[in-house]
Chains A and B, each alone.
Chain A
């Protein structure tokens, strides 16, 4: 029951995350792929530039930074470890492939640091931005979940995510791989 409560809480949080600045708006549609079995739950979807702009504007980000953010393609993810002693979220194990099969560049902390230097984003706002992104690496304990965004370079055509999760404390367990096809930089 607690697990169910957490799931509901987390799904609600995903919805609230980008609507907190406009509590009178209609709840947005959660347009996402949902994978669930007895061991894990994974939800993957896209953020629209409008959602991103509304959220970060509401947090006081400067316009240059908003412009930089909305030029990128943001995918949100939620991962819930239901049974493994450790389930590893390692973003380097997430591969994005463009429609022609070529790998897509994922933006990392260092990439954003360069962008913030150009846009003059404050340290506090950089910290806020960081908390809205998926961590680069996290060993999820049983019953732990994590959620946030991951950014890739913008593509007009649909693309594919192949997300692999190592398992076990020493990462030696059987890995789990989830493939999400037809992701787009705006929701379908």
Chain B
């Protein structure tokens, strides 16, 4: 009895990931496949061009999103005062090591806070993470996230393909599977 249930559970768990593995060589294929197998809270967007994003990080280095063509970009807007951001950030740190040197870049954008606040937060909540500083909030306004936190997925051609609504447990099964599916 237990073995049958276990087998069924294993098959159910494998099915969506199998689907992801088949046709995700291109952004178009990724959209088509994942539309039917998206984790809860991930929605498909229309593939419009991602807004420009040129900001300095906490080390003073400049990041330009347009330099990331050829890679998926996990583009995450956050603030230290936002409760869900605080809870989600460790899961982003966890996946940052999984996707290091892969075709998925993880980019954080802090909204409207000063360097000291950002540094204090990251040093305690996610010490391995860097972030871009949108000190005046103007870049965030251009992207018009549906609240904080918000995560956009920019495809290798610079198009917006998915949005994650609110905080998500990125290091857990279906979400991790979704991320891996993007770059297979």
Contact = CB atoms under 8 A, between A and B. Distances in A.
Interface string B141-184: 10000111000000000000000011101000000000000000
9 contacts: A2-B40, A9-B83, A13-B87, A16-B86, A58-B81, A123-B136, A128-B79, A143-B40, A147-B147
Nearest to A128: B112
Contact of B83 (A15, A123, A125, A135): A15
Nearest to B88: A9
Most buried by B among A13, A15, A16: A13
A127 B81 contact: no
B113 A9 contact: no
A135 to B, nearest CB: 7
A144 B87 contact: no
* Secondary structure dominating the interface of B: loop
A138 B146 contact: yes
Given A17-B83, A124-B112, A131 B148 contact: yes
A55 interface: yes
A141 interface: yes
B137 A128 contact: yes
Interface residues of B, number: 29
Given A2-B40, A127-B111, A128-B137, A10 B165 contact: no
B137 A123 contact: yes
B114 interface: yes
B137 A124 contact: yes
B137 A146 contact: no
B83 A14 contact: yes
Size bracket, chain A contacts: 35 or more
Contact of B84 (A2, A3, A10, A55): A10
B82 interface: yes
A15 B86 CA distance: 13
Nearest to A18: B81
Contacts of B140: 127
Contacts of A5: 169
Contact of A128 (B40, B81, B138, B166): B81
B53 interface: no
Contacts of B86: 13, 16, 20
Given A59-B113, A123-B136, 12 more contacts: A6-B41, A6-B167, A13-B82, A58-B81, A124-B112, A124-B113, A124-B136, A127-B140, A128-B112, A131-B147, A143-B165, A146-B147
